[in-house]
Amino acid sequence: MTKPSDLLLLRDKLRVFAEARDWDQFHSPKNLCMALMVEVAEIMEHFQWSTEEQSGNLATENKTAVAEELADVLLYLIRLSDKLDIDLLEAALLKLDKNAVKYPADIVRGSSKKYNEYCPD
Amino acid sequence: MTKPSDLLLLRDKLRVFAEARDWDQFHSPKNLCMALMVEVAEIMEHFQWSTEEQSGNLATENKTAVAEELADVLLYLIRLSDKLDIDLLEAALLKLDKNAVKYPADIVRGSSKKYNEYCPD
Amino acid sequence: MTKPSDLLLLRDKLRVFAEARDWDQFHSPKNLCMALMVEVAEIMEHFQWSTEEQSGNLATENKTAVAEELADVLLYLIRLSDKLDIDLLEAALLKLDKNAVKYPADIVRGSSKKYNEYCPD
Amino acid sequence: MTKPSDLLLLRDKLRVFAEARDWDQFHSPKNLCMALMVEVAEIMEHFQWSTEEQSGNLATENKTAVAEELADVLLYLIRLSDKLDIDLLEAALLKLDKNAVKYPADIVRGSSKKYNEYCPD
């Protein structure tokens, strides 16, 4: 028996969670998108006054807090995708292929100028 | 042979992608968090003037565009977690357990007032 | 004697405030932009689960809290503009003129479809 | 005759603009808050891959673009405040006073550690 997909596993758990609480009524894509944004801002709060270097060296306590915010972002993202009937893994694999074509390694390699010009959007 | 985890599969593809382009140097958690935010805003652009109902009924063309933005959010989220050395699946499962304790179904069930008071953060 | 401009008055107060605390060193445009975003998310938290109608009828307690978040957004926006040496009032007046040309009242008037197509960006 | 307040001047221009286009119907606080967020993200796009130092040295072309995004943020912020019947200048002055009490210059002066602990929220 194969292991189920992480993303589908989480999607299913979120469905059960919302249904048990009758929260589906609040989960319009518009609202979920706002909730997603608010969670990303909670990650950002940890980094807003840090240098780039400090942002890569979180203290253990902060790392635990950030892990929880990252989890919130993933959970709302999966829930939003589910309500829009979008397959997130498929979309991500397609986007990776598209990025590989858009940013050929031999052309964009290295300089920040090139990175800025060609950065993913 | 078991299927590999979706999230780890994408993490590994992103590592190869960044390394081939020498983009690791730009991927501080601070910068990746900003990029993540910008991508969420690109989803939000699709919903800002919609009613909640309209937000759940995207035209096919918009749905394709939104799927791509959702993919970008997932990819930056995975990349950010990787640079912080955080296991995203583990963090999400832990958060789901925590939410189940925090919002007992029989207490929060139903009303939007309760939802607001108890909403996940 | 004419009353000084609101925006310049606030700009000057913020300069004095930062200088007295030696906080100028943290106020790079990159950091201030992140702080601005975090404050907008604090407004968004108040509206994420509301209907559009509810969002226009805040309870007094919430209104006081939202007023404080709006103030934070204005203060960071003014500070960011100052660090970039951009005259915010001039920029706003220019943008209003530009919008008036871009969205002629007789053409865009009324329908949400037109609003979406022509919405300011 | 005293010069009118900048913020009230812009508020009044925005009222006339929305009324002439019958756009008031789309301007719920919930929607305006989303639009505000999207505009802040457009500023953020300019800074996401920059170092802090680069973010303070924009090329002229970028500076013009950023000025326009800053203007959009101000305009949506004023419109949102107006729809919530909140006096933005009054709120900002109150918040400055509150911050002065919360972050006494002689205590928080200097170190980034203190700044992080005491940073405005």
Q: Which tens digits make up the pLDDT trace of D39-92? A: 999 999 999 999 999 999 999 999 999 999 999 999 999 999 999 999 999 999
The pLDDT assigned to C106 comes to 87
Q: Cα torsion for A58, A63, A69, A72, to the nearest 10°?
A: 140
pLDDT confidence band for B109 (50 / 70 / 90): confident
* Residue of B38, B42, B46, B49 for testing the chain C interface, max C β-carbons within 10 Å: B49
Instruction: Reduce the DSSP state of residue D103 to 3 states and report it.
Output: coil
Closest CA to A31 of C46, D27, D5, B24: C46
Chain A: residues touching D (Cβ < 8 Å): 34, 37, 48-49, 51-52, 112, 115-116, 119
- Find the residue in D nearest to B42 (Cα): D38
CB pairs under 8 A between B and D: 35
* Residue of C22, C45, C51 for testing the chain A interface, max A β-carbons within 10 Å: C45
- Find the residue in B nearest to C47 (Cα): B116
| B55: Cα within 13 Å, side-chain hemisphere | 24
CA distance C33 to D3: 31
CA distance D79 to D33: 10
**SS3 readout for A49-78:** CCCHHHHCCCCHHHHHHHHHHHHHHHHHHH
Low-confidence ranges of chain A (pLDDT < 70): 1-3, 111-121
The pLDDT assigned to D96 comes to 97
CA distance D41 to D49: 13
The pLDDT assigned to C114 comes to 52
The pLDDT assigned to D104 comes to 92
Cβ-nearest to C49 among B37, B49, B119 = B119
Residue C111 DSSP label: -
Question: What residues contact B80, with CB distance under 8 A and at least 6 apart?
Answer: A43, A70, B29, B32, B33, B36
The pLDDT assigned to D107 comes to 86
Task: Output the six-digit token pair for D5.
Answer: 């307040």
pLDDT confidence band for D121 (50 / 70 / 90): very low
The pLDDT assigned to A69 comes to 98
pLDDT confidence band for C68 (50 / 70 / 90): very high
Q: What is the pLDDT of residues C2-51, one digit of tens each?
A: 567 999 999 999 999 999 999 999 999 999 999 999 999 999 999 999 99
pLDDT at D3 over 70: no
pLDDT confidence band for B115 (50 / 70 / 90): low
Cβ C53 vs Cβ D28: under 8 Å = yes
The pLDDT assigned to C121 comes to 47
Taking an 8 Å cut-off on Cβ atoms, the answer to whether A115 and D37 are in contact is no
pTM: 0.93
- Find the residue in B nearest to D37 (Cα): B41
Q: What is the pLDDT of residues B75-105, one digit of tens each?
A: 999 999 999 999 999 999 999 999 999 999 9
| Interface ipTM | 0.92
Residue B5, sorted as left (phi over 0), alpha (psi -120 to 50) or beta, turns out to be beta
The pLDDT assigned to A121 comes to 47
Closest CA to C35 of C7, C85, C74: C74
Cβ-nearest to C50 among D2, D30, D92 = D30
The pLDDT assigned to A114 comes to 52
CB burial string A42-76: b at 16+ within 10 A, e below: bbbbbbbbbbbebbbebeeeeeebbbbbbbbbbbb
Average pLDDT over residues C96-121: 75
CA distance D89 to C7: 9
Residue B60 burial (10 A CB sphere; 0-12, 13-18, 19+) = exposed
Taking an 8 Å cut-off on Cβ atoms, the answer to whether B7 and A2 are in contact is no
Q: What are phi and psi of A50, to 5 degrees?
A: -85, 155
pLDDT at B34 over 90: yes
CB atoms within 10 A of CB A88: 26
CA distance A5 to D9: 56
pLDDT at D23 over 90: yes
The pLDDT assigned to D115 comes to 58
